[in-house]
Amino acid sequence: MATLILTAIAAGVTTLTAGRDYLRELQASRVKRSQLETESKADAIELRNLLDYYLYPRMPEKNPIEPAVPLVPPMSDRFGPLDRKWSGSGKLVASSYIDTFHLPDDPEREQPTIIVQKDDAPLLIASHLTNAAARQYFGNPDSRVPYHQIRCHDQNGEGGYEAELRWAIYSPENAPVKRKWELFQGKPMIRVEPVHKVDDLQSALAPVRFASEGDADRQIDDYLLITVLPRDSREDRRVISLAGLHKPGTLAASKLLREDRLSGLTLTMLRELSEWIPEYRYYQALISVQVRHLPDRTPVPGKLKLIAATGVDVHLFGTTLHAHEAK
């Protein structure tokens, strides 16, 4: 009888101990969940601040009025099909940008040229090689040499600015021509174009790589170049340029902005960007893009990595405005 009583008491003690352990684990789980929720909220606030600072054309400390943001995808492509009008990759990047910044749905937002309004601050998608509107800022796309010195005139012709860019996209005279699969108007097709290049004023940059694969060339990597400049000499609006060398590079901008990536990839990259240029509002950032291929052989962006970033100093036709002073 005594043995049964002792056994029962031991069982009760074990149950009580297990219950206390469970309560401690439950409390620790609640504390951990609360910490994660707090960290998540802090990350969300940090992300929004970084997005606004680096990837939105508004400069509220200079202009309290919210600017219009026309989206300018590539409209003409001398290397693409003759009937090419809208770029699928450009529209995808534009859609991602609209969703990320919660811009109102406006059928006139996508523009082949920049309709000049008082507070417009455009987003330019793809480089001047295929985006006619971007040529206003980045020069002649037919140039066979890199175009680092830019000069932008105000619409009224009374002023403007000039700047030197570290990175410039161009097509060298001796650029190899590649045949590659791409998705055009919903159907895979072979596109023939030269291999575009990024020229770097500070160091040699590896060219984009391709590998032969039967009747086409398989793209291995690409670049995405982000350039942020003043809209004009008024300085309170910015132009955001998202320029890929080829289609996967342009699509990388959509991957960077896509909603399900914002808490990971984008936050990490924006934190790195803020370490490179913590006080600059005008800048360039170069991102390497690994290319993967879908079953239909269509190339799409894979892993992204920030290579480097640099501030851009703007000269207002005789007056130098350091980029960080525009903060």
CA 117, 119, 121, 122 dihedral sign is negative
Q: Could you tell me if residue 205 is inside a domain?
A: yes
Angle at 274 between CA 272 and CA 277, to 5 degrees: 115
The pLDDT value recorded for residue 326 is: 43
Q: Could you tell me if residue 40 is inside a domain?
A: no
Q: Could you tell me if residue 3 is inside a domain?
A: no
Give the total number of structural domains in the chain.
Answer: 1
pLDDT tens for the chain, 327 residues long, are 656 555 655 566 566 666 666 666 656 555 555 554 454 788 888 998 899 889 988 765 665 667 788 888 877 777 666 666 667 788 889 889 988 888 877 777 777 777 656 668 888 998 888 888 888 888 888 888 898 998 888 877 678 899 999 999 999 988 999 998 887 767 778 888 899 999 999 988 999 999 988 888 999 999 999 999 988 887 778 899 999 999 999 999 998 887 566 668 889 999 999 999 988 889 999 999 999 998 888 899 999 999 999 999 999 885 665 555 543
The pLDDT value recorded for residue 258 is: 79
Q: Could you tell me if residue 79 is inside a domain?
A: yes
The pLDDT value recorded for residue 36 is: 44
For residues 128 and 134, the answer to whether their CB atoms sit within 8 Å is yes
137: helix, strand or coil: helix
Non-local (6+) Cβ contacts of 150 within 8 A are: 137, 138, 139, 162, 163, 164, 165, 229
Buried b (16+ CB within 10 A) or exposed e, 72-107: bbbbebeebeeebeebbbbbbbbebbbebbebeeee
Q: Could you tell me if residue 143 is inside a domain?
A: yes
Q: Could you tell me if residue 22 is inside a domain?
A: no
Q: Could you tell me if residue 193 is inside a domain?
A: yes
Range of the domain at 97: 56-326
Q: Could you tell me if residue 298 is inside a domain?
A: yes
The pLDDT value recorded for residue 120 is: 80
